[in-house]
Chains A and B, each alone.
Chain A
Amino acid sequence: MILRILPALALTTAAARAEPPQVVATFSIIGDIAAQVGGDRIALEVLVGPDADAHVYEPRPRDAMAVARADVVLTNGLGFEGFVDRLIAASGTDAAVVALTDGAEVLEDPAGGHYHYIGDQAIWHAGAHDPHAWQAVPHARAYVATIADAFCDADADGCEAYRANAAAYTQELDMLDAEIREAVDALPEDCRTVVVAHNAFRYFQEEYGIAFLSPQGLSTESEASAADVAGLIREIRDTNARAIFAENISDTRLLDRIAAETGLELAGTLYSDALSGPDGPAPTYLSMMRHNADTITSALAAE
């Protein structure tokens, strides 16, 4: 699945400069952020589009060809796009491959890491990190800065425009961040726990103070065991979790079961790892975060 977001260039503008930098973004959320920074100076292709799950995406030949001709490949990193290393290897690209979480302060996967035993010595190998950094707006600001740097490296002539776009977009992110904090702050302190399908909202939790319970791990590839589900149901009762949400990239069968056993009702759909289509409530990063915050706080405020 490739979405082409071609700049609406006037012919005179296109003729006045060389080909626009070819940019590939691995999935819809960073694709939108890249479009905000790149504006009409870049030709952008997004590999995993709206409502699609990058955790389990299988790259296609056309994806490899897009990466092969790219000047810049934007990835989230931290293992979020399980396909990306083999895709890049297959493409033979010489593009700059930029992992946006390299510029963000990231959280460790609570279930990550493992021990080796060498003789009697137990050696800890640090585990993976949680890749869903965009779920806190300050990290999205870091993504913006990293993208602007990458575009400046690829297209020095456009650097001023990229920096200006990044600055304007960062102001919008600042306003968004303040809105979310204000909405959460208005909730009672003991009424801030919700349930989602997979553990994609830890950054939101750390930044804004909403606690998320989930039967699945960091990746939708993982499957919840019966013991996981039973433990979650106990936790929902113990923590007085007040709302349960579907995700746009997951089916709701497991959540339906949990809702039935706990008496909670599905209170809406959150956009975790992908934007909605253009007619949905979350076609951009800004609208996605507003939609998620509104959906969560409205459900928790309702009594």
Chain B
Amino acid sequence: MFRTFAGAGTLALMVAGAAVAQDSQDHDHAHEGDVTLYRLFVGDHASGQVTAIDLSEPENRWSFETTGQTKLFPVAGGAVVAAVQSDDDAVHFFSSGISFEDHGDHADISVTDPEAFEASLTGPRPFHLVDHDGKIVINYDRGGYAEVLDSAALARGEIDPQRFPQSRAHHGFVAPMGASWLSTVASDEEVTGDASVPRLGLQAFDAEGNATGDLATCTAIHGEAFSGAYLVAGCREGVLTATASGERVEYEMLEYPADLPQDLTTGTILGSNAIQMFLGNHGPDGLVVIDPVDEPHFTRIALPFRRVDFALDPVQPANAFVLTEDGSLHRINMLSAEIEQSARVTEPYSMDGHWNDARPRIAMAGDEVVVTDPNAGLVRRISTEDLSELGTIEVEGTPYNIAVAGGSGVIH
């Protein structure tokens, strides 16, 4: 076990209990302590700067330079943070410095300083990143291929991408599904200027990109998420579900029901890690809980204002949080499909303007929602329990995208 207490001062760990803490498992020795540590990675809106900050001791911070604006993803169980720079054709990786070793009845945590990987990926417009079933897949929207990384190897610092070819470059995704690879498929119709290549649906392939199944129609497919045995994606017709059945993939189109507002679609979806269900957007001012098995498949939640960002709570899996453009954070119970509580946490950020204007982003860190507030130069720490502000963390520049690594484990 290695612990490096370096950086901007001693890394303070939230050690529960005394120096020799006791866990409740069938162990024949005591542990040094139960440790909870969350580390924020905050990407700047204007530059390629990424700042790593320990939530509990924010003076412990590290700064990294990338090529351009980053979308940040915790991957490989949070051991690594991927920084996808779509406008700058690059993907950088950082060791989060926090990793876990699962022992079934508990997980050991090890903590070091975060570090930037020396190697990075480059390619034409990397965009969607899928982290599933031990694979990390990055789609290159203007390359006509995806690159597949092994999650465990990446956690060890090894970047050895395997290329998955697509018949035509498009804004899509590739994901593992059982023995197959699922890829979005684009039409071969000609487009002019900056027009998007039309997307037709989802299809199963082998690892070399040879089709092994028929195209499942999902017009303008966008927004993929996994939960339980299902992958779902948003389409113009509804939401497409895919699940492995032996060597095959079974699809079902869940059509938007007539009692939902019409002409609205789902294009951004998150999957629960606890219950087989999803939360997606439904138009700009609605969310929809998606149950892939039981009816009703869709339960809509109307928001008071347009949605800025939303996240699922892995600690209280019935809960989701959504920030709306009036600056309010809402806690949603996905089982009852109701807004349980709302509170103003930032100044208003209008959704008028460019989609990529600097607006808040949210992420979960244990029993806190961390909210970037670009105009204030802050990360706000909000209690999941009562939505009160627990504190703020100053971040240089214009804090924008945010990812969180960490959790609780045992140090022996």
Q: Which A residues have a C-beta under 8 Å from some C-beta of B? A: 58-65, 68, 86-87, 89-92, 112, 114, 116, 118, 123-128, 251
Interface string of B250-286 (1 = CB under 8 A from A): 0000000000000000000000111111000000000
Check: B26 CB closer than 8 A to any chain A CB.
yes
Among residues of A, the one whose C-beta sits closest to the C-beta of B337 is A61
> In the complex, A172→B228 CA distance in Å?
39
Other-chain residue from B1, B25, B246, B273 in contact with A118 (beta carbon distance below 8 A):
B1
Q: Is B294 a contact of A91 with CB atoms below 8 Å? A: no
Given A118-B1, A118-B412, residue A87 in contact with residue B275 (CB < 8 A): yes
- Which residues from A are CB-within-8-Å of B291? 60-62
- Which residues from B are CB-within-8-Å of A89? 274, 315-317
Among residues of B, the one whose C-beta sits closest to the C-beta of A63 is B275
- Which residues from A are CB-within-8-Å of B289? 61
Check: B103 CB closer than 8 A to any chain A CB.
yes
> In the complex, A86→B275 CA distance in Å?
7
Other-chain residue from B105, B272, B294, B334 in contact with A125 (beta carbon distance below 8 A):
B105
Given A60-B293, A64-B335, A114-B103, residue A92 in contact with residue B274 (CB < 8 A): no
Q: Is A64 a contact of B412 with CB atoms below 8 Å? A: no
Q: Is B318 a contact of A123 with CB atoms below 8 Å? A: no
Q: Is A90 a contact of B28 with CB atoms below 8 Å? A: no
Among residues of A, the one whose C-beta sits closest to the C-beta of B273 is A86
> In the complex, A89→B275 CA distance in Å?
10
- Complex A-B, nearest 3 residue pairs according to Cβ-Cβ distance, in ascending order: A58-B228, A86-B274, A90-B317
Q: Is B28 a contact of A124 with CB atoms below 8 Å? A: yes
- Which residues from B are CB-within-8-Å of A126? 25-28
> In the complex, A114→B25 CA distance in Å?
13
Interface string of B313-335 (1 = CB under 8 A from A): 00111100000000000000011
- Which residues from A are CB-within-8-Å of B105? 125, 128
Given A61-B335, A125-B27, residue A92 in contact with residue B318 (CB < 8 A): yes
Other-chain residue from A68, A86, A123 in contact with B317 (beta carbon distance below 8 A):
A86
Given A60-B293, A62-B294, A126-B27, residue A87 in contact with residue B318 (CB < 8 A): no
Q: Is B316 a contact of A68 with CB atoms below 8 Å? A: no
- Which residues from A are CB-within-8-Å of B354? none
Q: Is A61 a contact of B27 with CB atoms below 8 Å? A: no
Q: Which B residues have a C-beta under 8 Å from some C-beta of A? A: 1, 25-29, 103-105, 108, 227-229, 246, 272-277, 289, 291, 293-294, 315-318, 334-335, 412
> In the complex, A215→B22 CA distance in Å?
37
Other-chain residue from B29, B108, B294, B316 in contact with A61 (beta carbon distance below 8 A):
B294
Other-chain residue from A87, A125, A251 in contact with B274 (beta carbon distance below 8 A):
A87
Known contacts A64-B275, A114-B104, A125-B105; can you find 11 more A-B pairs with CB under 8 A? Answer: A58-B228, A60-B276, A61-B277, A61-B334, A62-B294, A63-B275, A91-B335, A123-B28, A124-B28, A125-B25, A125-B28
> In the complex, A127→B27 CA distance in Å?
9
**Most chain A CB neighbours (cut-off 10 Å) among B103, B293, B315, B335:** B335
> In the complex, A123→B246 CA distance in Å?
40
- Which residues from B are CB-within-8-Å of A68? 335
- Which residues from A are CB-within-8-Å of B27? 123, 125-126
Other-chain residue from A61, A92, A125 in contact with B26 (beta carbon distance below 8 A):
A125
Number of A-B residue pairs having CB atoms within 8 Å of each other in the complex: 78
> In the complex, A91→B275 CA distance in Å?
9
> In the complex, A251→B247 CA distance in Å?
13
Given A58-B229, A86-B273, residue A64 in contact with residue B318 (CB < 8 A): yes
Q: How near does chain A come to B299, taking the closest CB pair, in angstroms?
A: 9
Q: How near does chain B come to A136, taking the closest CB pair, in angstroms?
A: 22
Q: How near does chain B come to A240, taking the closest CB pair, in angstroms?
A: 34
- Which residues from A are CB-within-8-Å of B335? 61, 64-65, 68, 90-91
Q: Is B103 a contact of A125 with CB atoms below 8 Å? A: yes
- Which residues from A are CB-within-8-Å of B316? 89-90, 92
- Which residues from B are CB-within-8-Å of A61? 275-277, 289, 291, 294, 334-335
Q: Is A60 a contact of B412 with CB atoms below 8 Å? A: no
- Which residues from A are CB-within-8-Å of B28? 123-126
- Which residues from A are CB-within-8-Å of B275? 59-61, 63-64, 86-87, 90
- Which residues from B are CB-within-8-Å of A63? 275
A to B CB contacts below 8 Å, 12 in the list: A60-B277, A60-B294, A87-B274, A89-B316, A90-B272, A90-B274, A90-B316, A125-B26, A125-B103, A125-B105, A126-B25, A251-B246
- Which residues from A are CB-within-8-Å of B1? 118
> In the complex, A62→B277 CA distance in Å?
10
**Most chain B CB neighbours (cut-off 10 Å) among A64, A91, A128:** A64
- Which residues from A are CB-within-8-Å of B29? 123
Q: How near does chain B come to A59, taking the closest CB pair, in angstroms?
A: 5
> In the complex, A124→B276 CA distance in Å?
35
- Which residues from A are CB-within-8-Å of B294? 60-62
> In the complex, A65→B317 CA distance in Å?
13
Q: How near does chain A come to B275, taking the closest CB pair, in angstroms?
A: 5
**Most chain B CB neighbours (cut-off 10 Å) among A59, A61, A112, A128:** A61
> In the complex, A90→B227 CA distance in Å?
14
Q: How near does chain B come to A153, taking the closest CB pair, in angstroms?
A: 23
> In the complex, A63→B246 CA distance in Å?
25
> In the complex, A254→B317 CA distance in Å?
36
- Which residues from B are CB-within-8-Å of A60? 275-277, 291, 293-294
> In the complex, A216→B291 CA distance in Å?
32
Given A123-B28, A126-B27, residue A59 in contact with residue B273 (CB < 8 A): no
- Which residues from B are CB-within-8-Å of A128? 104-105
Q: How near does chain B come to A62, taking the closest CB pair, in angstroms?
A: 5
Q: How near does chain A come to B64, taking the closest CB pair, in angstroms?
A: 33
Among residues of A, the one whose C-beta sits closest to the C-beta of B227 is A58
Q: How near does chain B come to A228, taking the closest CB pair, in angstroms?
A: 20
Among residues of B, the one whose C-beta sits closest to the C-beta of A86 is B274
Q: How near does chain A come to B111, taking the closest CB pair, in angstroms?
A: 16
- Which residues from A are CB-within-8-Å of B318? 64, 90-92
Q: How near does chain A come to B269, taking the closest CB pair, in angstroms?
A: 15
- Which residues from A are CB-within-8-Å of B293? 60
Q: How near does chain A come to B133, taking the closest CB pair, in angstroms?
A: 13
- Which residues from A are CB-within-8-Å of B273? 86
Q: How near does chain A come to B147, taking the closest CB pair, in angstroms?
A: 27
